[in-house]
Structure 1
Amino acid sequence: MVRFFGILVGLFFSGWLLVSFVMGAIAYISEPPVKSVEYEYHLAPKDVSFTSDGPLGKFDRQQLQRGFQVYKEVCAACHSLRLVAFRNLAELGYTEAEVKAIAATWPIETPSIDPATGEATTRPSLAADKFPKPFPNDVAAAAANNNAVPPDLSLITKARTGGAPYIYSLLTGYVTDPAELAKLPPEAAPGPGLNHNPYFANLNLAMTPPIIGDDQVSYSDGTKATVDQMSKDVSAFLIWTAEPTLEKRHQTGWAVLAFLLIATLLGYLSYRNIWADVKAEKKKKD
């Protein structure tokens, strides 16, 4: 009896699955899916490489310092780095004195409490402080950025599909030429206060082009500050903020692989040694 009911239940679900498949096929044929304007005009990230790519990748400290400079002078006015402390900059090659100077002269002070009155106040940042937020809250951030809250950049290369190449593509992909914008269909054209960028998922975003031209910053190492160079440098810096232990992880990974290889070899040799006498004895009996 139980088997009979089990067969009935199986037939019911199998029939329901077949009916659903047939109905779905009919719906697909009668009303085929229409490609959205985002699908048609959205572009995949550009093909760009970084020194940290691959299992042997390492950070270029000089590039990271350039990228930090771009963040400081271009991005920090809107985007926070809430998971990064000033003292972490020592990993980029800055001295302790330089780190303290960067923290003390940071344009946005760190929130604090007045010990005399208990009221909220601010103070110059210390090396142990995290980077202070550019806005006190999301309401203020949205009010200053066309109702869009700028995302925190600490983990942005991990949080966005495409990683650092996506960030680089977004920074270099703004379409500002009126003639090119005029070619877009109405549903793809930017609305009031928006900017067209085919690398952004919705094609149009509130953020204006942050890097607007060559020599927007002046690199102390003499590197030419082109739009492409600045975009690549700050993207490399954001790879580091998202995974500052990348180099150690690579080193640990290779050490683990070497250990496993040696352990496998020793295990195989032990197997041969332990079972050699047993196999020899078995041959004699045969």
Structure 2
Amino acid sequence: MIRLGALAVGLLFVVNVLWGALQPREAAAPDMTKELHKHPHAIAWAHNGPGNLGIFGTFDRGQLQRGFQVYKEVCSACHSIHRIAFRDLADLGYNEAQIKAIAAEYEMPALDNNGEPTTRKGTPADKFPLIYPNEQAARAAQNGALPPDLSLIIKAREGGADYVHSLLTGYSDNVPKGWTKPDTLYYNPYFRSVNIAMPPPLSADGQVAYTDGSPQTVDQYAKDVSAFLTWASEPKLENRKETGVAAIIFLIIMTGLGYMSYRKVWADVKKPA
């Protein structure tokens, strides 16, 4: 009886599986993410040099300072650049007095004489402070989203500066038919999942007031802050290029000397008949 009962249960299970497999199913909704996702526009950056080859180029100091201004006035509300020290701003063309003034705008955590937590004015030796003390606080303030630190964002994202520029200028209200966008998200085809939690940070021309006569447009803001974040991700980029070029020139010279030495050593050696 036990064997018959087990056999009956087994047969019932097989029948249920076969029955479920034979039932018509609704077709899965097509994933439009890959179709809608766009690759970033290629921009000719000064730091990439002629032909955007990545060599011989140098940063435009005026652009870096404008980009830092955009970061301070727009991006720093949510995003930190914690790997950068205030004294590093000397590379952007700021003098010592300007750097001290910029650092003093920030409050840094400290301890008083009694060991109690307090704050002090920033100094050039300090790094830019974190916007949020931890991930939990950041997500709580941003409706669950986590604003990344921007110190290495250019290195961390495929496309680098091109990607950041395209993302900042790629927001659109024209959501394609068939694509679902929650009310709490924004449509941006340059973001990997198309829907992005970050509101458009650069919302209108004239948002940041430049004093050097540069165009005050969203596109220019995006280019300038992308260039600044490129510098932030590798402040010694120009030094690395200079070292690389010097090394290549040295190797070319040594190759030439080696070849001439080879010719001189073997000049009197007769070839076999």
Q: TM-score range by the shorter chain?
A: 0.7 to 0.9
SS at match of 1:111: strand
2:199 aligned partner? 208
2:147 aligned partner? 150
1:172 aligned partner? 169
User: What whole-Å deviation, never above 9, does each CA across 1:131-170 have from its counterpart, x for those lacking one?
Assistant: 0011111111111112011000001000001100000000
1:59 aligned partner? 59
Whole-Å separation in 2 of the counterparts to 1:256 and 1:125: 39
2:212 aligned partner? 221
The letter of the residue matching 1:191 is P
Deviation at 1:206, TM superposition (A): 0.9
- Pick the aligned partner of 1:49 from 26, 33, 44: 44
Deviation at 1:35, TM superposition (A): 6.7
Tell me, yes or no, if the aligned pair for 1:189 and 1:196 is still in contact at 8 Å.
Answer: no
Q: What is the 5 A alignment of 1:71-220?
A: 71-106=71-106, 109-114=107-112, 116-175=113-172, 177=173, 180-181=174-175, 183-185=176-178, 188-220=179-211
1:39 aligned partner? 34
Gaps of 5+ in 2: 1-28, 49-53
SS at match of 1:135: coil
- Pick the aligned partner of 1:262 from 242, 253, 257: 253
Whole-Å separation in 1 of the counterparts to 2:213 and 2:260: 57
User: What whole-Å deviation, never above 9, does each CA across 1:63-103 have from its counterpart, x for those lacking one?
Assistant: 00000000000001110101100000011000100000001
Whole-Å separation in 2 of the counterparts to 1:146 and 1:195: 14
Give the alignment's TM-score, normalised by structure 2: 0.84
Moved over 4 A (4+): none
Query: Quick one: structure 1 residues 37 and 251, their matched pair in 2 at CA, closer, same or farther if it must change by over 3 Å?
Result: same
Give the alignment's TM-score, normalised by structure 1: 0.81
> What percentage of residue pairs aligned between the two structures are identical?
55
The letter of the residue matching 1:59 is F
Q: RMSD over aligned Cα, in angstroms?
A: 1.4
Q: Count residues with an aligned counterpart.
A: 240
SS at match of 1:276: coil
Whole-Å separation in 2 of the counterparts to 1:184 and 1:121: 54
Whole-Å separation in 2 of the counterparts to 1:158 and 1:105: 28
1:248 corresponds to 2:245: no
The letter of the residue matching 1:112 is A
SS at match of 1:52: helix
SS at match of 1:121: strand
Whole-Å separation in 2 of the counterparts to 1:184 and 1:48: 30
Whole-Å separation in 2 of the counterparts to 1:47 and 1:274: 51
